[in-house]
Amino acid sequence: MFPGGQPDMSKLLEQAQQMQQQLAAAQEQLAQEEVTGSAGGSLVTVTMTGQGEVTAVTISPEAVDPSDVETLQDLVVAAFRDASRQANELTASRMGPLAGGLGGGMGLPGL
């Protein structure tokens, strides 16, 4: 299973600690980065962090029609979905390379 015999547990633990530190740093970076989703040609925008926390919602006055609240609601939902998709993509781009190192790279089953 391991070239040359048994794995060096101290090296495995050191690698695991390094990966934990890298993951924590990436999560902190995601908390600081923001993405903005939009709908209706930017009539409605939703800004959120890379961790999915909504920080702002902007609704253009042109989007507000008291006789058609349903359209405004749909625009808000669409903008939220767009921002969420972007936040997921950002997370995948930041965390993907780190998470990829968990599988097999350290020779630990189940990771």
- 39 Cβ contact partners less than 8 Å away, ≥ 6 residues apart: 45, 74, 75, 76, 78, 79, 82
- 102 in any annotated domain: no
Identify the band that residue 79 occupies on the pLDDT scale cut at 50, 70 and 90.
Answer: very high
pLDDT above 50 for 109: no
Q: Is residue 84 part of a domain?
A: yes
Mean pLDDT across 30-38: 92
- Residue 61 located in a structural domain: yes
- Asked whether residue 55 is domain-assigned, the answer is yes
Q: Give how many domains the chain has, as a whole number.
A: 1
Query: pTM (2 decimals)?
Result: 0.69
